[in-house]
Amino acid sequence: MIDLPARDARVVWHPYTQHGVEGPPLPVVRGHGAWLELADGTRILDAISSWWATLHGHSEPALVEAMHAQARQLDHVLFAGATHEPAVRLAESLLAVAPEGLSRVFFSDDGSTAVEAALKMVLQSWVHHGEPQRRVFVALTGAYHGDTFGAMAAGDPEPFFGAFAPLLFEVRRVPADANELARAFDELGERAAGFLLEPLLQGAAGMRVMGERFVQAARTLCTERGVPLVADEVMTGFGRTGELFACLRAGITPDVLCLAKGLTGGVLPLAATVVTEELFACFLHHERSRFFPHGHTFTANPIACAVANASLELCRRRDVPARLDAIGRVIREELRPLEHDPRVRDVRQLGGMAAFDLVVADADRGYLSALTPDLRRRAIAAGVLLRPLGNVVYALPPACTTDDEARRIGTVMRELVAGMD
Ligand SMILES: Cc1ncc(COP(=O)(O)O)c(C=O)c1O
């Protein structure tokens, strides 16, 4: 196990990783609760829920048991022309807790495909409605919605997707400001297809928090203009903002809700694009060709669905949104001394997310900042897994994190600032 990084370096290509610059990856041999254990026995606190996915904790027994039980019963079956109990139960359970007014669940594999399916559904529905010119989505500056082609187009091309820019479809980009959104709709007129946003909290953009008022205004504007509101809750879903869904916190129902990451408690890949009956009905027709031509091999995989059912049950039983909110508050409290520190800006918390920006030169801002690898290395050396987004230092730990562990996370975040001198 000790030579894992060397073997890895010979044969593996890692995601979002510059192999020419970055050091060897962490050799992780075990995950338990909020902790990851490395090959040499070192233990580190997973303060970012392993890419915002791990919801209850690593190797949560209830989820492991659900996985085993389902694998013994039915491991996989195609989902076109066949169905199974775990998927139907999951759809029923999701609709019972989702914002009222959503009524159909389309399963896919991960956050990018949840968004990809949402965009395709909306665009195809406009064709069915006889308005094929409605092809331009409005989306937020800095948005990240995944890295398949549609999701890349919906996301801000900076800092990742410049190489593909000529191939991406047109998207009108606005800041989180109701007047700007209204102006975008005015300018697009009958070309507007819909509005896509990460409600309340833009993750990869730098843990940007927006007001509930903007989300509510966006809902009103979309209704007035007759275009769908697509909420990407791939990151915010399942309690991260202190409510089960950010849309619930803002008191709105989107026309389309995209879920992934925490859907299975962050254990297996599974996503859901949840829509209104109106959108579903728009695909019902006597001609087969009007169906929705989308679906991957492992759509609604029974094991993933069984784990998701167990995870939803834990969310309810343990009140995960409230626990995440409490953890976020403990970290925020630990960050209080930074409030008047000139090296820091915008200490903030929303639910289980706590963050601040380091005051740095322009060149050191953004995801690709040279600052990031060093901050990451120092945090890991202090026993906490953090992945700052450029100059944005944040934590988003799993719900099993104890108050002591949360304080430890906050302390290490604070120490990163002290180390800047
Ligand atoms: C808001 C949001 N949407 C979509 C995605 C893409 O999800 P995935 O990486 O599972 O494809 C992410 C990933 O971080 C995300 O944060």
pLDDT digits (tens, 9 = 90+) for 258-314: 999 999 999 999 999 999 999 999 999 998 889 999 999 999 999 999 999 999 999
Which residues of 213-340 form beta strands (DSSP E)? Answer: 229-232, 256-259, 271-275
Name the residue of 52, 110, 119, 145 whose CB sits within 8 Å of the most ligand 1 atoms, as the mutation to test its pocket: 145
Angle at 420 between CA 414 and CA 421, to 5 degrees: 115
Angle, alpha carbons 51-54-58 (nearest 5°): 125
Share of the chain above pLDDT 70, in %: 100
**Structural domains in the chain plus CATH codes:** 4-59+319-418 (3.90.1150.10), 62-318 (3.40.640.10)
Mean pLDDT computed over every residue of the chain: 96
Query: In angstroms, rounded to a whole number, what is the distance separating the alpha carbons of residues 300 and 184?
Result: 36
Query: Above 70 in pLDDT, residue 2?
Result: no
Residue 370 pLDDT = 82
| Contact by Cβ (8 Å): 137, 146 | no
**SS3 of 353, please?**
strand
- The predicted pLDDT at position 363 comes to 75
Position 393 confidence tier, pLDDT thresholds 50, 70, 90: very high
Nearest residue (CA) to ligand 1, atom 4: 145
Is residue 1 pLDDT above 70, yes or no? no
Q: How many residues does the chain have?
A: 421
Q: Give Cα separations from 357 to 91, 282, 390, 414 (angstroms).
A: 39, 45, 9, 11
Q: How far is residue 166 from each of residues 151, 152, 226, 302, measured CA to CA in Å?
A: 15, 12, 29, 39
Average pLDDT (121-148) is 98
Ligand 1 atom nearest to 113, measured from its CA: 11
Atom of ligand 1 nearest to the CA of 203: 16
CA 343–ligand 1 middle distance (angstroms): 30
pLDDT of residue 158: 84
Residue 346 one-letter amino acid:
D
**How do residues 210-247 score in pLDDT, each as one tens digit?**
999 999 999 999 999 999 999 999 999 999 999 999 99
Protein residues whose CB sits closer than 6 Å to any atom of ligand 1: 110-112, 115, 144-146, 198, 203-204, 232, 234-235, 260
Distances (CA, A) of 201 to 186, 264, 353: 26, 21, 9
Distance 234 CA to ligand 1 centre (A): 6
Q: Please state the atom number of ligand 1 nearest to the C-alpha of residue 271.
A: 10
Whether a cis peptide bond, with omega within 30° of 0, leads into 132 is no
Q: What positions carry a catalytic annotation?
A: 16, 144, 232, 261
Q: Is 28 exposed, middle or buried (0-12, 13-18, 19+ CB in 10 A)?
A: middle
Alpha helices in 107-211 (DSSP H): 111-128, 149-154, 178-188
- The three-class DSSP label of residue 169 is coil
Ligand 1 mean position to 261 CA, how many Å? 8
pTM to 2 decimal places = 0.97
Q: How far is CA 8 from CA 12, 39, 204, 386, in A?
A: 5, 14, 27, 22
- Give the position, in ligand 1's atom list, of the atom nearest the Cα of 51: 14
CA of 114 to the centre of ligand 1 (A): 9
Neighbouring C-beta atoms of residue 244, cutoff 10 Å: 23
Cα-to-centroid distance, 287 and ligand 1 (Å): 34
**Atom 8 of ligand 1, nearest CA residue:** 111
pLDDT digit string (tens) for 345-369? Answer: 999 999 999 999 999 988 777 777 8
Q: What pLDDT is recorded for position 97?
A: 98
